[in-house]
């Protein structure tokens, strides 16, 4: 069932979304060569909990142990922060975070360069972010879930990049993952129709090479099979009468 949120619920999600946005802004200032993903996680958790009533959504969700997912280079999503992973100059790290306020969640991700990165890697990040905004722009009442995926896919594939198929965006609200699923590929006018009050996490995962995935032995980290780099950008949005509104900024 796809739920329609009340104005009060949307306000609460926007409060959670603001903390998510500020957490990712903090991460952009602390990511540097030599820092561990555990350091990022500790700083993010302390920052989130410094807001009264705010808790990290991921901690304990399906038994995930941390506040952030930190996915480096060929890791697509669900990397687990650890003291054993040092960020290195020229790498990219995808940071994904959710925050819960008064029982309602918001979810956003961004891929951050570690020091100076190569021009083609910069392009992967730019195109992935552009594909996210193309998807968001189509999230209008009367359009369909397939319109979102189609818009994302068009931007990514026109640039020569791959679209991950096995992982998708999702509805979000009182539960972190709600219906509908939001694939990053699709056919216009197909899938559930969008209505005002639907809250969606749109999250393209785009690869430089083949988008086929596999999951590491830790049972969480999803990587590209061919080892190519992957980027991930995500926002939580609400469909309104007048167009999409981003809640995580």
126, 152, 181, 210 from 158: Cα distances, Å: 13, 10, 24, 15
CB atoms within 10 A of CB 192: 15
96 binds Mg ion (CB under 5 A): yes
Q: How far is the CB of 79 from Mg ion (least distance, A)?
A: 12
109 binds Mg ion (CB under 5 A): yes
Q: Which is nearer to Mg ion, 99 or 119 (CB)?
A: 99
178 binds Mg ion (CB under 5 A): no
Q: With contacts defined by CB under 5 A, name the span among 6-14, 86-94, 140-148, 201-209 that binds Mg ion.
A: 201-209
Q: Which is nearer to Mg ion, 166 or 226 (CB)?
A: 166
Counting residues that bind Mg ion (by CB under 5 A) gives 6
Q: With contacts defined by CB under 5 A, name the span among 83-91, 129-137, 195-203, 205-213 that binds Mg ion.
A: 195-203
- Measured N-to-C along each axis, helices 7-30 and 37-49 cross at an angle, to the nearest 10 degrees, of 140
31 binds Mg ion (CB under 5 A): no
As a whole number of angstroms, the distance between CA 243 and CA 199 comes to: 12
73 binds Mg ion (CB under 5 A): no
Using DSSP, state whether 183 is helix, strand or coil: coil
Q: With contacts defined by CB under 5 A, name the span among 10-18, 39-47, 102-110, 153-161 that binds Mg ion.
A: 102-110
107 binds Mg ion (CB under 5 A): yes
Per-residue 3-state assignment (H helix, E strand, C coil) for 186-216: CCCCCCCECCCCCEEEECCEEECCCCCEEEC
Before 180, cis peptide (omega within 30)?
A: yes
As a whole number of angstroms, the distance between CA 144 and CA 138 comes to: 9
Q: Which is nearer to Mg ion, 74 or 203 (CB)?
A: 203
Q: With contacts defined by CB under 5 A, name the span among 26-34, 79-87, 92-100, 212-220 that binds Mg ion.
A: 92-100
As a whole number of angstroms, the distance between CA 141 and CA 43 comes to: 38
75 binds Mg ion (CB under 5 A): no
Determine whether 83 is exposed, middle or buried from the number of CB atoms within 10 Å of its CB (0-12, 13-18, 19+): exposed
Q: Which residues in the 206-235 window bind Mg ion by CB under 5 A?
A: 234
Q: How far is the CB of 151 from Mg ion (least distance, A)?
A: 18
Which residue stretches of 119-213 are H helix? 119-137, 145-158
Q: Which is nearer to Mg ion, 62 or 241 (CB)?
A: 62
Q: How far is the CB of 120 from Mg ion (least distance, A)?
A: 25
199, two tokens: 């809250």
**Can you tell me which of 201, 238, 239, 247 binds Mg ion, judged by CB under 5 A?**
201
Which run of H or of E encompasses 111? strand 104-113
Q: Which residues bind Mg ion (CB under 5 A)?
A: 96, 107, 109, 201, 203, 234
């Amino acid at each position: 069932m796809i739920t329609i949120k009340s104005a009060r619920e949307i306000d609460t999600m926007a409060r959670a979304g603001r903390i998510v946005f500020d957490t990712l802004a903090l991460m952009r200032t602390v990511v540097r060569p030599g820092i561990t993903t555990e350091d990022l996680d500790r700083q993010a958790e302390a920052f989130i909990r410094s807001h009264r009533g705010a808790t990290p959504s991921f901690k304990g969700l399906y038994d995930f142990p941390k506040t952030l997912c930190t996915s480096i280079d060929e890791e697509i999503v669900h990397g687990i922060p650890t003291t054993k992973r040092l960020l290195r100059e020229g790498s990219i790290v995808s940071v994904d975070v959710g925050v819960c306020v008064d029982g309602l969640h918001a979810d956003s991700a961004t891929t951050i360069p570690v020091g100076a990165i190569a021009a083609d890697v910069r392009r992967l990040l730019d195109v992935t972010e552009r594909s996210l905004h193309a998807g968001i722009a189509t999230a209008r009442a009367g359009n369909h879930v397939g319109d979102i995926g189609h818009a994302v896919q068009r931007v990514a594939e026109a640039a020569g990049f791959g679209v991950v198929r096995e992982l998708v965006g999702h509805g979000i609200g009182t539960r972190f993952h709600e219906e509908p699923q939001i694939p990053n590929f699709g056919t216009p006018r197909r899938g559930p129709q969008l209505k005002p009050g639907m809250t969606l996490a749109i999250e393209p995962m785009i690869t430089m090479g083949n988008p086929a995935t596999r999951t590491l032995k830790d049972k969480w980290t999803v990587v590209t099979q061919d080892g190519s780099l992957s980027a991930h950008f995500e926002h939580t949005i609400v469909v309104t009468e007048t167009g999409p509104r981003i809640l995580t900024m």
